[in-house]
Structure 1
Amino acid sequence: MELFCGAGGMSLGLTQAGCDVVAAYDAWPVAVENYNHNLGGNVARVADLTDLLGIVPDLLKLAPDMIAGGPPCQDYSSAGRREEAENARLTLAFALIIATVRPRWFLMENVTTAAKSATWREARTVLKRAGYGLTESKIDASRYGVPQSRRRLFVVGRQGERDGFLASAIAVAAAPTPMTIRDLFGATTPAAVYFPSTSEARRSIWSPDEPAPTIRERSIRPLPDSYKPHPDDAALVANGFIYSRPVRAGRGVRTVDEPFPTITRTAWERPTARYLSSPHPADPVAASETAVLSIPQISRIQGFPVWWEWRATAKRDILQMIANAVPASVAASIGRVILDRESGKTTPAIEGRFVRWLTTTRGRSPQSAWNVKSLAGRARHLLGGRTFAVPALELAALESVEEFWALKKNAQSDLRQALRLLAEYQAEGHLRHQKPRQMTTTDAQPLADAA
């Protein structure tokens, strides 16, 4: 289920990943109406999420496997005053709901500055006391399927896990290069699917990663040489430059060969006279020469599909719903990472200088140290990718695996010892004090490879 669901961006992405969203809640009736209109099922309802006694009983009855949500970020946002007030307290309300309902998993999204807030420190304490291991990842949305350099904090929690248990898998899910505006609006799309539209105003090119339009008798044909993109998209790409109202004296003009900055409710605005007279020195062209984004284009940059219909009497409300949303493709990426770990398809990487610690602190030879690391990885494979905050529970879980008892006694002993040593290393805090390194595609190993 999703809290603070808005118009449904996160729910759309989690559904695309393979989750079943059974309930969603938000305090804004306009957003709830748009959610139900586009996603169907009347899943979303209007609710005051500060009224814990009013909402928690319903959530307890539903007993969800995961609760997701993006508590309001205005109090933390770099575009705001950064004064923690009523909106910030909704992050604590989110944590209190998690601690009371106790789903196996939770997923929270917010701006990156929330990670340093006093409210998040309170919320984090609540979640840790409730027994959740936390992965706190700061991601760039342009690496997760939208042409937007939107940096956000994603916190994933799972009962009983060690902190950081999903970090390597989230890092590996990132694309090697950012998605650009041209990638989304360009005339041709790699691996595109052609569904002839019934109107020249509608799109006929669809990505294989998004829901297809209604299938008709003449649907799904090879891309014809004569196909032309939507006129608005073609004009944008032909112009080559887009203006975005800068935040805190940033650059206002972007080329179509880079991501758009973070979508806000002012993304449609043209440059002011003040900006035109004093542009940013790094702007590649004058802001007056840039293309104008339409609401459908802003919506797609934020990850909403072309078939999405916005319902609101005020343009400001539509833009606010778009800006507030979690891009669907980002939510889908994180959702797939969660489902892969839930099903045991991936194991967490053994990060840090574990081998070096074994040689310098435990007196192991280099070969012996590498063998211990390999055995620890094998143990995590047998555990289905689970890690445990309590070492005794980790060993107990290992000994409950049937495959473990099929091994010879000395192999069983070696696996136990490898897990104990890894737990000692992690307890000494080596992971917290070393410099972060670049993740690689081997960090979140599929179980077949880890075996």
Structure 2
Amino acid sequence: MINTIDLFCGCGGMSCGFQNAGFNIMEAYDIWDAAIKIYEKNFKHPVYKKDLNDDDTIEILKGKKPDIIIGGPPCQDFSIAGNRKMGERANLTIRYAQIIAAIKPKWFVMENVYNIERMPILPEAIKIFKEAGYGITSKVLDASRCGVPQKRKRFFLIGNIEAQDGFLDEILETNLSEKQMTLYDYLGDSLQTEFYYMHPRSYNRRAVFSIYEPSATIRGVNRPIPSGYQRHNADKADISEGVRSLTTKERSYIQTFPEEFEFVGSKTVMEQVIGNAVPVKLAEYVANCILEYKERG
């Protein structure tokens, strides 16, 4: 049994994926009340509201003796969707590295947006991991090749205290699906529509998609079709052809949360929590790659 702690757990996408792979999630930590309420609804182990910058954090976690710590430090300051100013959220990446270095679990997994690779904070964090004795593997994974019906690229940094750098590269690469997963592959006809609307970041982008392709990245915003919407030349259908927006629950399916996973709170909050989550099957993919490495001995 691999004892696991999830830091910056959100509503539990990483926890759910690692749990599906057989890891024992001991407990989880976050500071976002809305996400914690959802997490509590769906897991038997405890989740704690905690500012991980607090001085007592390392002392608390040291006593738990986890085999692996997983987590996705908040990434909005790195996101192409918003402000790129390097602020307090970016510093949480360094805090995560400091926690790992102090506790020294055998393994860690850090998840973030793919463009963290271009940010100066990443080499700083890697330096902390390396000085603590970790061999590391890093890779940007396309979720649609990891069992998720969604074009979503995420950065993973995986550390093992006893390994050389690049130890997981081959397994992460060779297990990828050659074909991108579509909504139809994952959900069949259950949406009861061939085309759906997903509000774009700008009207320079298309907004109407087919179930026979991967979804665009699920964001924390789900708006209805605007009145007078003008068809984009790349849209898969015209709005008049029975196109509709997806429900909050349907969007959680695209994030590969199971049907029984309960979401609570206002619609706005649920959309934000779902959009911020690590897709369950993407986390499960990484977890299974770690297990394969361990089995190879």
CA contact (8 A) 2:149 2:183 kept: yes
Match of 1:252 in 2: 207
Match of 1:286 in 2: 238
Residues 103-145 of structure 1: per-residue CA shift (max 9 Å, x gap): 1110011110011111112111111111111111111111111
Match of 2:50 in 1: 47
Q: Quick one: distance in 2 between partners of 1:116 and 1:96?
A: 21
2:32 equivalent to 1:28:
yes
2:21 equivalent to 1:17:
yes
Q: Quick one: distance in 2 between partners of 1:251 and 1:84?
A: 30
Q: Quote the RMSD (CA, aligned, Å).
A: 1.5
| More RCO (CA 8 Å, sep 6+) | 2
Match of 1:98 in 2: 100
2:289 equivalent to 1:334:
no
Residues 332-370 of structure 1: per-residue CA shift (max 9 Å, x gap): 1110111221232xxxxxxxxxxxxxxxxxxxxxxxxxx
CA contact (8 A) 1:4 1:25 kept: yes
The count of aligned residue pairs is 291
Q: Quick one: distance in 2 between partners of 1:155 and 1:20?
A: 20
Q: Quick one: distance in 1 between partners of 2:57 and 2:65?
A: 13
2:266 equivalent to 1:264:
no
Match of 1:180 in 2: 182
Equivalent positions of 1:150-229 (< 5 A) are 150-187=152-189, 229=190
Equivalent positions of 1:51-200 (< 5 A) are 51=54, 53-187=55-189
Q: Quick one: distance in 2 between partners of 1:273 and 1:75?
A: 32
Match of 1:394 in 2: none
Higher Cα Rg: structure 1 or 2?
Answer: 1
CA contact (8 A) 1:135 1:165 kept: yes
CA contact (8 A) 1:135 1:166 kept: yes
Shift of 1:250: 2.7
Q: 1:283 to 1:27 in 2, by over 3 A?
A: same
Q: Quick one: distance in 2 between partners of 1:54 and 1:323?
A: 30
- Aligned-pair identity in percent equals 38
Residues 2-61 of structure 1: per-residue CA shift (max 9 Å, x gap): 1000111110110111100101100012211211211123x211000121x221111100
The one-letter amino acid paired with 2:238 is A
- Residue of structure 1 aligned with 2:275, choices 316, 323, 328: 323
The one-letter amino acid paired with 1:48 is D
CA contact (8 A) 2:150 2:216 kept: yes
- 3-state DSSP of counterpart to 2:234: coil
2:258 equivalent to 1:305:
yes
The one-letter amino acid paired with 1:49 is L
Q: Quick one: distance in 1 between partners of 2:239 and 2:53?
A: 43
CA contact (8 A) 2:149 2:186 kept: yes
Stretch of structure 1 that moved more, 155-164 or 102-111:
155-164
Q: Quick one: distance in 2 between partners of 1:93 and 1:183?
A: 39
TM-score when normalising by structure 2: 0.93
- Structure with more of its chain in strand, by fraction: 2
Equivalent positions of 1:346-365 (< 5 A) are none
- Structure with more of its chain in helix, by fraction: 1
Match of 1:296 in 2: 249
- 3-state DSSP of counterpart to 1:37: helix
